[in-house]
Amino acid sequence: MAITTPRDVRRPGPARLATATGLVLTSLLWSASVQAQAWRIAPALKATATATSNVGLQSSSNTSMDTVVTVTPQVQLQGTGPDYRLTGTLAADMVTYLGRSRADRILPRGQLVLNGRVVDRLLFVDAELGADTTSSTPFDLLSDGATAYNVGTSTRQRFSPYLDRELSPSSRLTARTDHVLTQGRGVGTLPNVANNADAYVQTHTARYDLRPEPAGLRAEFNRQHTQYNDSTAGGLMLQTARLSALYAPDPSLTLGLTGGRDAASFTTNQFNETLRGLSLRWAPTERTTLDALVEKRFFGNGWTVNFAHRSPFLAVSAGVVRQATTFASRLGVLQAGGDVATLVDSILQTRIQDAALRQVAVQDLIAKRGLPNTLTGPVDLFSRTVQLQQGGNVTLALIGVRHTVTLRLFQTRTEDLRGPTEDSVIGLASDATQRGATLGLSRRLTPETTADLTFTHTRTEGLGPNLGLQSNNSVVRLGATHSLSPRTTLSGAVRHQTGSSSLIGVNATESALSVGMLHRF
For 20-56, the pLDDT digits (tens) are: 455 545 554 554 444 444 788 889 999 999 999 988 8
Does residue 145 carry a pLDDT above 80?
A: no
| Percent share of the chain, pLDDT over 70 | 85
Q: Please, which pLDDT band fits residue 208 given cuts at 50, 70 and 90?
A: very high
User: CB of 197 within 8 A of CB of 190?
Assistant: no
pLDDT of residue 197: 67
pLDDT tens-place string over residues 165-200: 999 999 999 999 999 998 876 544 444 444 456 889
Q: Determine the residue type at 349.
A: Q
Distance CA(481)–CA(496), nearest Å, equals: 19
Range from 36-45, 170-179, 231-240, 329-338 carrying the lowest mean pLDDT: 329-338
- The three-class DSSP label of residue 300 is strand
* Domain 13-520 class in CATH: mainly beta
Q: Determine the residue type at 479.
A: G
- DSSP 8-state code for residue 421: T
pLDDT of residue 191: 40
CA dist 208 → 243, 281, 282, 286 (Å): 10, 17, 21, 24
| Percent share of the chain, pLDDT over 90 | 51
Which DSSP string corresponds to 218-248?
EEEEEEEEEEETT--S--EEEEEEEEEEEEE
Residues in contact with 456: Cβ distance below 8 Å, sequence separation at least 6, in sequence order = 144, 376, 436, 437, 438, 439, 473, 474, 475, 477
Does residue 68 carry a pLDDT above 80?
A: yes
pLDDT of residue 5: 35
Average pLDDT over residues 374-387: 84
Average pLDDT over residues 1-28: 44
Q: Please, which pLDDT band fits residue 430 given cuts at 50, 70 and 90?
A: confident
Residue with the bigger pLDDT between 6 and 101: it is: 101
Strand spans (E) along 348-426:
387-399, 403-416
pLDDT of residue 124: 96
Q: Determine the residue type at 223.
A: R
pLDDT tens-place string over residues 288-319: 999 999 999 999 999 999 999 999 899 999 99
Distance CA(240)–CA(262), nearest Å, equals: 5
pLDDT tens-place string over residues 245-254: 999 999 999 9
Distance CA(147)–CA(98), nearest Å, equals: 12
Q: Please, which pLDDT band fits residue 260 given cuts at 50, 70 and 90?
A: very high
- The three-class DSSP label of residue 316 is strand
pLDDT of residue 8: 37
Does residue 71 carry a pLDDT above 70?
A: yes
pLDDT of residue 375: 84
Residue with the bigger pLDDT between 477 and 229: it is: 477
pLDDT of residue 193: 47
Does residue 409 carry a pLDDT above 70?
A: yes
Residues in contact with 6: Cβ distance below 8 Å, sequence separation at least 6, in sequence order = 14, 181, 183, 198, 199, 200, 229
CA dihedral 340, 343, 345, 346 (to 10 degrees): 180
Average pLDDT over residues 468-483: 92
Does residue 390 carry a pLDDT above 70?
A: yes
Q: Determine the residue type at 167.
A: L
Distance CA(151)–CA(106), nearest Å, equals: 12
Smallest CA-to-CA distance from 218 within 239, 240, 244, 241 is with 244
Distance CA(321)–CA(220), nearest Å, equals: 20
Does residue 414 carry a pLDDT above 90?
A: yes
Q: What is the pTM of this model?
A: 0.83
pLDDT of residue 132: 84
Average pLDDT over residues 82-106: 90
Average pLDDT over residues 113-142: 87
**What are the structural domain ranges in the chain?**
13-520
Average pLDDT over residues 212-236: 86
pLDDT of residue 280: 96
State the average pLDDT for the chain.
84
